[in-house]
Amino acid sequence: MKHPMLKYMKETGPCGDRLPTILCPGCGAGQVLNYTLHAVDQIIKEDKIAKERFLFISGIGCSSRLTTHYLNFDSAWTLHGRAPAVATGALLANPEFKIILFTGDGDVGAIGGNHFIHVCRRNLDMTILCMNNALYGMTGGQVAPTTPRGDYTTTTPYGNVENSFVLCKLAEVAGASYVARWTTAHPQQAIRSIKHGIRKKGTSFIEILSQCPVHAKKSAVEILRSYKTKTVKAKNAEKGDNRIPIGEFLDIEQPEWFESFQKIIDSFASEERKDQNE
């Protein structure tokens, strides 16, 4: 039996077979892709939204490789950190797009940090899925802005001396409308969150802790277990709890860029109709 989400993948193309993906065994990115496609599949069915309206955009890194040539959707695998800018352009051309951004903690937290916070500030209508593995996987396990203090990586051979970014808090203060964090060990919660994010008008930021067994030098199973034991539902967290809070942190309604800008365009269009009537 074929995987039910394969219908959204390009198994082959005019120049040959495209699967399997480039991802390492045990990588969490494949799970996130699976959850995302489930969410998209449910929205296509429940909301009667045409598949052609979905657009996947990514930058550079392991997580961004999900949009290379595997997806049977319109997509762009763009420049490191620049996916929010490319997505903004697509929306400016056509605000009807349902945009999903695949990104990683380095892509969105370091090189693309500026674009990320400004997308949130403008509250542009897109869903940003950040796979956080707390390191740079594609280049071989270097320190990332999300790496915990003290961790050893190939570029912190004597231990990381820097504080780490909390990307969900960054998204909140930057102005996003919906912010949530889950892990690859929380499939149903992640699918529900992604669906909510896609439906949400404005910027949705969903961080998914996603294992990199290769560079973490642990088995995928071990990391997935820790995602269960070392996290706590945000609403259940008590003061002093060292576990990582997961769940929905923010869900608000606020003006979105395109609705506001469209009013300006419409004012000129109605002025023109008035001119023609006079």
Partner 1 sequence: MSNSHMLRPGSYYFQGNEACIEGAIMAGSRVYAGYPITPATEVMEAAARRFPQVGGRFIQMEDEISSACLLIGASWGGAKALTGTSSPGFSLMQEAISFGIISETPFVIVDVQRPGPGQGYITSGQEDVMQARWGHHGEGSLIALAPSSVQEMFDFTILAFNYAEQWRTPVILLADETVGHMRKRLKIPPLGEINIVNRKKPQEMGIRPEDYLPFGGSEVPLMANWGEGYNVNVVGLVHQPDGHVTRYSPELDYQCIDRKLRKIEDNVDKIAKIDTRFMADIEHLIICYGTPSRTALEAVMEAREEKGVPIGYLRLITLWPFPEGMLRKLIPQVDTIFVPEMNLGMMMHPIREALRDKAKRFVSIPSMGTLHSPDLILSKIYEELRK
Contact residues toward partner 1 (CB under 8 A) are: 10, 13-16, 18, 22, 52-53, 55, 57, 67-69, 71-79, 82, 84-94, 96-97, 114-115, 118, 261, 264-265, 268-269, 272, 275-276
- Listed residue (35, 12, 25) closest to 180, CA to CA: 35
Q: How far is the CB of 200 from partner 1 (least distance, A)?
A: 20
Residue 86 or 129 with smaller CB distance to partner 1: 86
Torsion of CA 47, 51, 57, 63, to 10 degrees: 80
What 3 state SS string does 146-215 have? CCCCCCCECCECCCCCCCCCCHHHHHHHHCCCEEEEEECCCHHHHHHHHHHHHHCCCEEEEEEECCCHHH
**How far apart, in whole angstroms, are the C-alpha atoms of residue 117 and residue 112?**
9
Residue 86 or 134 with smaller CB distance to partner 1: 86
Residue 221 or 265 with smaller CB distance to partner 1: 265
Joined together, the tokens standing for residue 52 give: 């052609």
Q: How far is the CB of 210 from partner 1 (least distance, A)?
A: 22
Q: How far is the CB of 212 from partner 1 (least distance, A)?
A: 20
Residue 62 or 86 with smaller CB distance to partner 1: 86
Q: How far is the CB of 268 from partner 1 (least distance, A)?
A: 5
